[in-house]
Structure 1
Amino acid sequence: MTKIKNILFIMADQLRWDYLSCYGHPHLHTPNIDRLAERGVRFDRAYVQSPVCGPSRASCYTGRTVFSHGATWNRVPLPIGELTLGDYLRPLGVRTAVVGKTHMVPDREGMARLGLNGSTEIGIRVSQPGFDPYERDDGLHPTPMLRNKGGTLHYNDWLRRQGYEGENPWNDYANAAEGPDGALLSGWHLKNSNLPARVQEEHSETAYMTMRAREFIEETGDRPWLCHLSYIKPHWPYMAPAPYHDMFGPETWLPAVRSEAERENPNPVYGAFMGMEVSETFSMQGVRETVLPAYMGLIKQIDDHLGRLFSWLEETGKDKDTMIVFTSDHGDYLGDHWMGEKELFHEVSVRVPLIIYDPRPEADATRGTVCDALVEAIDLVPTFLEATGAPSASHRLEGRSLQPLLHGGTPEDWRDAVFSEIDYAFYAAREALDVDVSEARGYMLRTARWKYIHFKGFPPQLFDLRHDPDEFEDLGRNPDYEMVRQEMHSRLLDRLTSRKNRVTMTDEGVRALRRDEDSSGILIGKWAP
């Protein structure tokens, strides 16, 4: 089998699976992403390992679940010993770089212990989760935070060269509008979401990141590469440049998926999250209606720029040796289930789009098909390793390569459940529940029919997705479903205990050690020669 030379790994931030036309949105047309699906495989049931940016991305980069790799929230460092995509692919000569967001922070204590600093080549890679930071930009630069980081940002420098003045053009132009009296209207305030950003479209974050990805590919030349094009949008601040800010009117908005019954005696953890400010705000009349035009416009803008990038790859012939992956790190409630943001385990939060184009002839039979296998974000790393011919690292990786599914096969032992988890110690919901930071844990196991959620110290949640696809009726405390809960809890325990922590020795190393035991001269339990 031929090997993949290049990988374009595209991730949109906070993009719901159902806000693309190839996934069924009736009004938000995304022809370029749809065309990618026509050339590859669209996975219909793909799930992230945590519905939060940082831990979800850490799992995408390591191929390991959240409590295995330890980066449980956005500002929790990935431990220095964890291997990521760059560590696996760089020995093959693959230049592995990020353009955009990773939402990862360095393990500075670990680096200091080993005498590493961010100015050396190895220090840079360790502090940038294995990527070369070609254009690292997490897209969260309010002025006070920018000052705390030293006040520098490549995108700001570039904006100034385009004529945008001031200390922080990201904040004042790319994510702010202008009022009728010239006042600055911040994108951080949701009421301004349907106004056009002050930046010109061609200078916006999406346009800039697409440009930088193309520059990276051009500069790399014939050398193999993995480019992680990680878009900052449609994550908040929800603010789009003209003309994308008002492309989508009321006739295009999907109704909120929520029921009054959900607010009647809810699961305590779910109730605490519904009580947070962002959820109460999105539950107010008119809020989601103000946000939706920007959210949808930002997605449309990404699709337009990807169309230009895809066309360029085809014109240069690079599409013939480049695997293209399009996905998201999690969804967005947008007022569904009386919630804002993400965090919990409803489908709109934990389910993501996943489209993979494999240019090799072995994938011809599956082009334009839809795969309904249950797949997880941790499957990407083993997929990339198998595609490029890298060693499998099966003793460390917890995902499975998707290559058999891309090439028309379905292994008989493919998983029948997907797993996700949350460390909610960092939220006001945890304080409202008076839960200790070490106890704020939640775990989801979803099969074809059932979704079971275990919150440590609280009743579980259970949804029958066959009869309640909108997840309105929580059966977690219904006595009629005790047997189902017990079975799902047992399966969840199996999944939790199957995670891999012997990461420094391969399975073959274990077998070799066992074979060499007698020849070592250490004799245990022998009675006589």
Structure 2
Amino acid sequence: MKRRSLIGSILIACAALPALAESNRPNIIYILADDLGYDELGCYGQKRIQTPHIDRIAREGMRFTQHYSGAAVCAPSRYTLLTGKHIGRSHTPGQGQRLPDGETTLGTVMKRAGYRTAAFGKWGLGDNPNEQGFDEWLGFLDQGRAHFFYPEWVWKNTEQLKFPENIGLRKEGAYGDISGGTYIHDVFTDSALDFIRQSQAEPFFLYLPYTIPHAEFVVPEDSLAAYAGCWPEHPEKAHKTVLDPAKGKRGIEGGTAFYDGYGYCSVDKPNATYAAMVSRMDRDVGQIMALLKELGLDDNTLVLFASDNGPTFIPGYNREFFEVPESFPFSGHKGSLEEGGIRIPFVARWPGRIAAGSVTDHLSYFPDILPTFAKLAGVEVSAPIDGTSLLPVLLNQPDRIQQAPYLYWQKGDAPVVRLGEYKGFFKQDKLMKAYSINEDIGEKNDITNQLPSAIRTQMEEIVQSVLSKPKHPAAKGKLK
């Protein structure tokens, strides 16, 4: 396959399938966890953390086993999800993502299709989601502030929503009595439930990028109680930061609830706390599912759940304790472009349309989400994108299934390309190592010298093409 056909086929893939009739367009709810590992849900083999409601999505819908995030860390991964583009098109492959004015996003696509749109949680892509197609917005613009669960304020559209009850809850890196505080995850859930109630008479798209289970590790007692005392624990103490707390971490004006001169908070029961955070998120997924049933929206709502990258690696998180080796035979974690850093859980439920209990190994990733939702909404996307619609996969239409010609990631100046079963790691445009994922899912045996010459040539052409193209300009302004 020549480079022109490889690259060019992506631009027309979104138009290759017929759109659904307007009367059949579903509501869409896309829920995104933050740093949740591939094996940290019961439906992916997890034994310690209870996730019955997310497991139900898989049991009554479809579970993907080869779905990938668009990057190995938060902001660039969200860029690929929201735009349908791989990270090589952004102005940076790293955390400093800023969507330019006029960018095509999930929000703008769904709004143009006549959907009511909302986003609640962690944005991480620049200023004002209201200008990126979302009618309603509440949450953190800057991902640095999104690491903390008892904020003094968050954004609600263009205004600050303040939580004075959270002031002073954390001192010298430790929380005192949090029973009177507002746990921001609960605000995201309440906002989602209110939005669904208000939107039941019209098609809606809800993007719910939760901040659980990203550190810091803290959870209300009503969730912690289910796991406290179950396992041995090794308390983790907060560490002083080297930054001036008066200026705020990473230069962000946050306030004493965040920046008391310490990093992530002390945690006495890190294993129980982490599990309880995930289960609290699962509980709230259950609340959303129950409301859909109550309002008679269940059969006409597509609910999807995924994570933004692989599991974390920070002190206090015990990867060995939660890891399920038979479900997670991967190398790497968050921050790595090995399988453990980018292969993620992904489940979808649409009663009567997605076959219950179905499992697919279809190779897919975040850029596929935008063209999928565009097809569901009945609109065409003229902007260049790098994904292909997953609708035929979800609806079990094998004669219509298309595979993106390649998958592309990049960390710094190190691109990674997945081409069929093969995955190549580059330093700039030089191939450094390669693996057959079908034969070596743990990425232990470098086959650079055995890689088929045609595959190597295609990978090199893809990388050279991406690296040589101009990137979109970064948006201006200061995040808070």
Task: Return the TM-score normalized by structure 2.
Answer: 0.72
Instruction: Select between 494-503 and 380-389 the one with higher mean Cα deviation.
Output: 494-503
> What is the distance in 1 between the residues matched to 2:308 and 2:336?
14
Identify if the C-alpha distance between structure 1 residues 203 and 313 changes in structure 2 by more than 3 Å, giving closer, same or farther.
farther
Instruction: Give the one of 438, 443, 446 matched to 1:475.
Output: 446
Deviation at 1:86, TM superposition (A): 2.0
> What's 2:13 paired with?
none
**Aligned position for 2:415:** 442
Q: Distance in 2 between matches of 1:340 and 1:451?
A: 15
What is the root-mean-square deviation of aligned Cα atoms in Å? Answer: 3.9
Counterpart of 1:45?
66
Cα gap change, 1:139 to 1:407, in 2 (>3 Å): same
Asked whether the equivalents of residues 47 and 375 of structure 1 are also in contact (C-alpha less than 8 Å), the reply is yes
Alpha-carbon shift at residue 218 of structure 1 (Å): 1.9
2:120 is aligned to 99
Shift of 1:341: 6.6
Cα contact 1:47–1:418 (8 A) shared by 2: no
Q: 1:185 to 1:446 in 2, by over 3 A?
A: farther
Equivalent in 385, 388, 391 of residue 400 of structure 1:
388
Q: Which residue of 1 aligns with 2:4?
A: none
Does residue 367 of structure 1 match 2:356?
Answer: yes
Aligned to 1:350: 342
Give secondary structure in 1 for the equivalent of 2:212.
strand
Is the CA contact (8 Å cut-off) linking 2:392 and 2:401 kept in structure 1? Answer: no
CA distance in 1, matches of 2:437, 2:230: 28
Given the superposition, is the C-alpha separation of residues 306 and 441 from structure 1 closer, same or farther in structure 2, using an over 3 Å criterion? Answer: same
The answer for unaligned runs of 5 or more in structure 2 is 1-19, 233-265, 314-318, 321-328, 472-480
* Paired residue type of 1:186: G
1:316 alignment counterpart = 295
Answer yes or no: is the 8 Å Cα contact 1:43–1:373 preserved in 2. yes
Q: Is the 8 A contact 2:429 2:464 kept in 1?
A: no
What residue is the counterpart of 1:489 in the other structure?
A: 456
Q: Distance in 1 between matches of 2:66 and 2:153?
A: 40
Q: Distance in 2 between matches of 1:387 and 1:397?
A: 17
Measured after TM superposition, the shift of residue 338 of structure 1 is 13
Q: Is residue 385 from structure 1 mapped to residue 374 from structure 2 by the alignment? A: yes
**Equivalent residue for 1:137?**
140
Q: How many residues align?
A: 398
Q: Check if 1:70 corresponds to 2:91.
A: yes
> Structure 1 residues 470, 322: CA separation in 2 closer, same or farther (over 3 Å shift)?
same
Q: Which residue of 2 aligns with 1:186?
A: 173
Write the distance in 1 (CA, Å) between the matches of 2:300 and 2:33.
23
Mapping of residues 71-220 of structure 1, within 5 Å: 72-106=93-127, 125-126=130-131, 129-138=132-141, 140=143, 152-153=153-154, 157=161, 159-160=163-164, 164=165, 166=167, 172-173=168-169, 176=170, 184=171, 186=173, 198-200=177-179, 203-220=182-199
Contact between 2:88 and 2:408, CA under 8 Å: does it hold in 1? no
Contact 1:102 1:138 (8 Å CA) reproduced: yes
Contact kept, 8 Å, 1:206 with 1:301, in 2: the verdict is no
Distance 1:491 1:241, change over 3 A: farther
In the TM superposition, what is the alpha-carbon distance from 1:84 to its structure 2 partner?
A: 0.7
Name the CA distance, whole Å, in 2 between partners of 1:239 and 1:446: 40
Judged with a 3 Å threshold, the aligned counterparts in structure 2 of structure 1 residues 5 and 97 are, in CA distance, closer, same or farther, namely: same
CA–CA distance in structure 1, aligned partners of residues 210 and 76 of structure 2? 17
For residue 165 of structure 1, report the CA deviation from its aligned partner: 5.0
- Residue identity in the other structure for 1:324: V
Larger Rg over CA atoms: 1
TM-score (norm 1): 0.66
CA contact (8 A) 1:17 1:351 kept: yes
Question: Which secondary structure does the structure 1 equivalent of 2:133 belong to?
Answer: coil
1:221–1:502 distance in 2 versus 1, CA, 3 Å: farther
Q: Aligned equivalents of 1:68 and 1:403: distance in 2?
A: 24
Offset from partner CA, 1:118-173 (integer Å, 9 cap, x none): 7xxxxx633xx332342132575669x9xxx9x8535995643xxx252xxxxx54
1:270-312 CA deviation, whole Å, 9 max, x = no partner? Answer: xxxxxxxxxxxxxxxxx99964433322111100111122111
Aligned partners of 1:401 and 1:494: how far apart in 2? 24
C-alpha distance in 2 between matches for 1:474 and 1:197: 49
8 Å contact from structure 1 (residues 197, 239) kept in 2: no
Contact 2:25–2:376 at 8 Å: present in 1 too? yes
**CA–CA separation in structure 2 for the residues paired with 1:25 and 1:296:** 11
**CA shift at 1:468, angstroms?**
4.2
Structure with higher helix content: 1
Gaps spanning 5+ residues in structure 1: where?
A: 107-117, 119-123, 167-171, 177-183, 188-195, 254-286, 425-439, 504-529
- Residue identity matched to 2:187: Y
Contact 2:78 2:124 in 1 (8 A): yes
> Partners in 2 of 1:416 and 1:250 — Cα distance?
47
Q: Is the aligned partner of 1:240 residue 2:226?
A: no
Structure 2 CA distance for partners of 1:154 and 1:456, relative to 1, 3 Å: closer
The 1-side partners of 2:188 and 2:80 are apart by 23
